[in-house]
Amino acid sequence: VELNIEDVNDNPPHFFGSSSVRISVPESYPIHTALYVARASDPDITPSVPLIKYIILQNSNDLFDIDKNSGELYLIRKLDYEIQQRHSLLISAVDGGGLSANLSLSIEVQDVNDNPPVFERSEYHVEISEGTKLESQ
């Protein structure tokens, strides 16, 4: 008697660590460079249930993309702290049988001194007494 037992896809993928992650990224972070790697596992992965695929379900201003095989998240457009300081993404790991898990990713944008000072007027006139000390107000 030969008995063949096949695994049933009854376990959804799960992300390592927490299902909610917060990271900080400087607004000068280069595009097309991985800024986070989503990692999930699935005990049901077998030849009949292929590897996990990663997708972004909610994408903040379409600034981000994810490699569907590796889970590497990267920028496709520049961040700008002055426009938006926080981005929220919902990433899903889907196995070959359609079961999935979600990861909530909050991205805090760090300000970089990238804007020159702006003066309201082109000229300013002040009077300074002859005996005024340096750095006085």
Q: What is the mean pLDDT of the chain?
A: 90
pLDDT tens digit string along 41-96? 988 876 655 689 999 999 888 899 999 999 999 999 999 999 999 999 999 999 98
* Nearest-10 Cα torsion for 108, 87, 115, 122: -120
pLDDT tens digit string along 98-112? 899 999 999 999 999
In contact, 77 and 31? CB cutoff 8 Å: yes
- Cα–Cα distance for residue pair 120/128, rounded to 1 Å: 21
Q: For the whole model, what pTM was predicted? A: 0.78
pLDDT at 89: 97
Position 38 pLDDT exceeds 80? yes
Residue 119: pLDDT band (50, 70, 90) is confident
Please give the class, per CATH, of domain 14-110.
mainly beta
- Cα–Cα distance for residue pair 91/105, rounded to 1 Å: 7
pLDDT at 48: 59
Domain ranges of the chain: 14-110
H-run or E-run covering 107? strand 100-110
